[in-house]
Amino acid sequence: MPDRGFTSTQLAARAAYLLRGNDLGTMTSAAPKLYPHMWSWDAAFVAVGLAPLSVERAVVELDTLLSAQWKNGMIPHIVFANGVDGYFPGPSRWAVSELAAHAPGQVQTSGITQPPVHAVAVQRILEHSRRHGRSTRAVAEEFLDRRWADLVRWHRWLAHARDLDGNGRIALYHGWESGMDNSPRWDAAYANVVAGPVPPFHREDLEHVADATQRPSDREYTRYLWLLEEMKTARYEDGVLAKAMSFAVEDVFVSAVFSLSCEVLATIGEEHARPNADVRELYSWSDRFRKGVIATTDSRTGAAKDFDLRSGKWVATDTLAMFAPLLCGGLDRQAERALLRTFEGPKFCGHPDLRYAVPPSTSPVSGDFRPREYWRGPVWPVMTWLFSWAFARRGWAERANVLRAEGLRQASDGTFAEYYEPFTGDPLGSMQQSWTAAAVLDWLG
């Protein structure tokens, strides 16, 4: 448990206070300054953290997100808060209301997606609601009635529009869609992106993070923005993007998360008497994507790979992505044990110089490792949470507990940082990050 700073009770109170502070009414900003809007996978994790505080408020969070769902089923990666500036690229740069036929009418959103962790939040909400009286249970169940079809539509869009050849892996057209924006996983794919002219831009992120080396470089940023221009030319049409985007990768981590989420949603559907056809479809996607993940793995080490659709090359990196099969299962016993040994060994959580035994985003022994640079090395508490949750679900209670305990020790500094330097434990990026507080609340709940 906490080894410095705050006790568990104090930490939980501060985390709850933080989420209230970031609450904009019907959405929680991902962070107060750097990310003043709603992010898709952040919203799901935030709902996980809100559920023990208020099932009703957690439901509002997911309702807000789902109200921004596109007509084709996509959940966009950002839902912009009304009248809030200070984030780039904002609504006018994405221009989805003018260009995208599928964009929602009432709300402003970005034009790409993010990892599908939302079923996890729905499950947590239902679980918490059972600890309450009838009226809270009714709120959760009405939510499921109201939103079941939308959740299935979201999964169906991923299974169809983002897996055109049906191989069980999700295609992404922007590194931001992976949630791991500048991970070394995407270096090769980005290197092949030849950026054309990009309208002028001003990096708002650098106004809020003093040390620019903790953020992606300008060169990286120009490519990110060029991809937006390509998407705008394609008018965000799924079929056109698949051919036209100069960045296209199959993300093994997102594919594993999707397999897992399909299974979670199918289970919820069974327990709540949802249509059989939906439940069957969800299970079939879960299987297909589990197989898709396993097909990328090395038979001896169990490590998974991404695939660059443009160069036709596999991309093996020593990053969190290699552990995708631990989330969704499907490896044979030996390979799984080998992969767990890597996760717990000196390349990752067991590296002798780590301040806490939690997985860094990139292995410290990898040539790509940068201890302070965003997704190139730092520890992201929300990822520690995801692995601890998934391990508990897979029946590895002891492993789940170790991650939880170490994650809490790290969080006991009370900064709720977006990410941490793995060796020194320095809090980096944004402070008061909502999903970090949410992870802590779930762990302590």
Residues designated as active site: 181, 418
Q: Using CB under 6 A, which of 2, 35, 155, 412 touches ligand GLC? A: 35
38 three-class SS: strand
Only segment of 4-12, 39-47, 225-233, 251-259 that touches ligand GLC (CB under 6 A):
39-47
Kindly tell me which of 259 and 433 has the beta carbon lying closer to ligand GLC: 433
- Tokens representing 7 are 């006790």
Contacts 24+ apart (CB under 8 A), 297-300: 297/325, 297/331, 297/335, 298/335, 299/335, 300/335, 300/338
Site for ligand GLC contains 427 (CB under 6 A): no
What is the b/e burial string over 163-189, where b = at least 16 CB atoms within 10 angstroms of the residue's CB?
beeebbbbbbbbbbbbbbbbbbbbebb
Query: How far apart are CB 352 and ligand GLC at their closest, in Å?
Result: 28
Taking CB under 6 A as the rule, does residue 253 contact ligand GLC?
no
Q: Residue 220, interface with ligand GLC (CB under 6 A)?
A: no
What is the phi/psi pair of residue 121, to 5°?
Answer: -65, -40
Q: Which is nearer to ligand GLC, 49 or 269 (CB)?
A: 49
Which one of residues 15, 18, 27, 41 is an interface residue with ligand GLC (CB under 6 A)? 41
Closest approach, Cβ 166 to ligand GLC, in A, equals 27
Crossing angle of helices 434-444 and 8-21, in 10° steps, is: 140
Q: What is the closest distance, in whole angstroms, from the C-beta atom of residue 132 to ligand GLC in the complex?
A: 29
Exposed, middle or buried by CB within 10 Å (0-12, 13-18, 19+), for 206? middle
Q: How far, CA to CA in Å, does 184 sit from each of 246, 342, 365, 368?
A: 18, 19, 14, 6
- For ligand GLC, the closer CB: 126 or 227: 227
What does DSSP say about strands 249-251 and 170-172: parallel, antiparallel, or unpaired?
A: antiparallel
By beta-carbon proximity to ligand GLC, the closer residue of 126 and 417 is: 417
Between CA 404 and CA 314 the distance in angstroms is 33
Q: For residue 408, what are the contacts with CB-CB under 8 A and spacing of at least 6?
A: 1, 2, 8, 11, 440, 443, 444
CA 236 to chain centre: 21
CB atoms near residue 353 (< 10 Å): 10
**Piece of 12-20, 35-43, 87-95, 193-201 that binds ligand GLC (CB under 6 A):** 35-43
Cα 202 to the chain's mean position, in Å? 26
Interaction of residue 87 with ligand GLC, rule CB under 6 A: no
The Cα–Cα gap between 346 and 343 comes to 8
Which range in 33-41, 129-137, 270-278, 346-354 contacts ligand GLC by CB under 6 A? 33-41
Phi then psi for 374, rounded to 5 degrees?
55, -120
Q: Does 179 bind ligand GLC (CB under 6 A)?
A: yes
Residue 318 interacts with ligand GLC (CB under 6 A): yes or no = no
Q: Which stretch binds ligand GLC (CB under 6 A): 38-46, 51-59, 320-328, 331-339?
A: 38-46
Q: Is residue 385 part of the contact set for ligand GLC (CB under 6 A)?
A: no
Q: Is residue 368 within the footprint of ligand GLC (CB under 6 A)? A: no
- SS3 labels along 82-148: CCCCCCCCCHHHHCHHHHCCCCCCCCCECCCECCCCHHHHHHHHHHHHCCCCHHHHHHHHHHHHHHH
Using rule CB under 6 A, residue 357 touches ligand GLC:
no
Tell me how far, at minimum, the Cβ of 428 lies from ligand GLC, in Å: 12
Based on the shown chain and the rule CB under 6 A, indicate whether residue 181 belongs to the binding site for ligand GLC: yes
Q: Is 251 in the site for ligand GLC (CB under 6 A)?
A: no
Q: Given the complex with ligand GLC, which of 112 and 304 has the nearer CB atom? A: 112
Stretch that binds ligand GLC, among 37-45, 137-145, 207-215, 238-246 (CB under 6 A): 37-45
- Return the number of the residue (361 or 363) whose C-beta is nearest ligand GLC: 361
Query: Could you say whether residue 39 binds ligand GLC (CB under 6 A)?
Result: yes
Would you count residue 266 as binding ligand GLC (CB under 6 A)? no
Q: How far is the CB of 39 from ligand GLC (least distance, A)?
A: 4
For the four alpha carbons of 252, 65, 267 and 123, in that order, the dihedral sign comes to positive
Using CB under 6 A, which of the segments 5-13, 36-44, 244-252, 310-318 binds ligand GLC?
A: 36-44
- Cβ-proximal residues to 395 (8 Å cutoff; 6+ apart), any chain: none
- Report the residue from 11, 16, 30, 327 that binds ligand GLC according to the rule CB under 6 A: 30
Smallest gap, in angstroms, from Cβ of residue 412 to ligand GLC? 21
| Among 389, 349, 405, 357, CA closest to 49 | 389
Q: Is 247 in the site for ligand GLC (CB under 6 A)?
A: no
* Total chain residues near ligand GLC (CB under 6 A): 7
Structure tokens at 107: 């709300």
Q: How many residues in the chain?
A: 445
Chain residues that interact with ligand GLC, rule: CB under 6 A: 30, 35, 39, 41-42, 179, 181
